[in-house]
Every structure is written in C-alpha cells, then in structure tokens.
C-alpha cells in the first residue's frame, strides 16, 4: 500500500476546509482552504514541512485580509434584505373592518390575514370595507392612508 505524500495531504485538508465552508459561509474556512492549496503546490516541489507551514500561514493571512472582505461585501448586500414581521406590512393593502375614526379612537383593518388596530395618516374618517395602504407601523398600531377608488 502506498502512503500519501505531503502535497496530497494538503490537498485533502483543503477539500475538507472547502466542505466546512459550504456549511458555515463565513469565508474563514475558504481562506484556510486557499492556504492549504498554496502549501500543496509548494509541497509538490519541496519536502520541507517548515516551508509548507509558512506557505499555509502566509496565504491564509493574505486571503483573510484581501479576499474575505471582498466576499463579505458582495455576498451579504443589505439592499437585498427581505423585510420580515411588521416591517413587511409597510406598503401592504388592507380592508377596513372597523371604522377608522381619530375622534372616537377606533379603527381596525384586515391585512395579510391578520386583524390590526389602525389609525389614519390624517384626521380622515375611513368607513368599513374601504381599502387602505399601510404607511408605517407605530408599536402595534398600523398607520394607514385611504385609497380612493
């Protein structure tokens, strides 16, 4: 049975780091993977383990401070963030189920399958069955504007 050479061991470790990176998506293990690839290339030409470790360290550090910030910047763009919870309600269209009256402090709407307390954006009286658009969320109260037909 033939034993592994150093360059093959570095290559196997690089593949292992790549697999771990697929599950972590932090791009740290990707830097280690690149360090292992650099060591694997060097190990193919020289058997000195000290040089392999130096190549691993240098390539990992360089990739950590150059490639990782680039990858984080483009992989986690904030502009594509998905709105969740009550933030997702802003811009939604709902139907008034209890007259929205600022003077009487009443008003409820049905939006996205849920019943919410609502206030009009102005002092406007909005009758039942009218459509409204959610402008913003104030605690548990939706601030809405009337959609004219």
Q: What is the pLDDT of residue 60?
A: 96
Q: Is 108 left (phi over 0), alpha (psi -120 to 50) or beta?
A: beta
Domain positions in the chain are: 6-80, 85-146
**Regions in the chain scoring below 50 on pLDDT:** 1
Q: What is the pLDDT of residue 1?
A: 42
User: Between the CA atoms of 42, 44, 45 and 51, what dihedral angle is there, to the nearest 10 degrees?
Assistant: 40
Q: What is the pTM of this model?
A: 0.52
Q: What is the pLDDT of residue 75?
A: 78
- What residues are paired with 147 via a beta bridge? none
Q: Confirm or reject CATH 3.40.50.80 for domain 85-146, answering yes or no.
A: no
Buried-exposed string 53-69: b where 16+ CB fall within 10 A, e elsewhere: eebbeebbeebbeeeee
pLDDT digits (tens, 9 = 90+) for 123-138: 788 999 999 999 998 8
Q: What is the pLDDT of residue 102?
A: 84
């Amino acid at each position: 049975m033939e034993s592994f050479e150093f360059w093959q061991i570095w290559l196997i470790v690089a593949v292992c780091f790549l697999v771990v990176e697929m599950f972590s998506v932090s791009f740290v293990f990707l830097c280690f993977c690149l360090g292992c690839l650099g060591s694997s290339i060097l190990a193919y030409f020289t058997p000195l383990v000290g040089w392999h470790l130096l190549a691993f360290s240098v390539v990992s550090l360089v990739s950590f401070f150059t490639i990782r910030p680039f990858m984080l910047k483009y992989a986690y763009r904030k502009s594509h963030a998905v709105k969740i919870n009550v933030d997702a309600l802003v811009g939604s269209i709902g139907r008034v189920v209890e007259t929205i009256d600022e003077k009487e402090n009443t008003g409820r709407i049905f939006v996205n399958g849920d019943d919410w307390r609502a206030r009009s954006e102005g002092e406007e009286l909005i009758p039942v069955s009218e459509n409204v658009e959610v402008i913003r969320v104030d605690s548990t109260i939706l601030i809405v504007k009337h959609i004219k037909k």
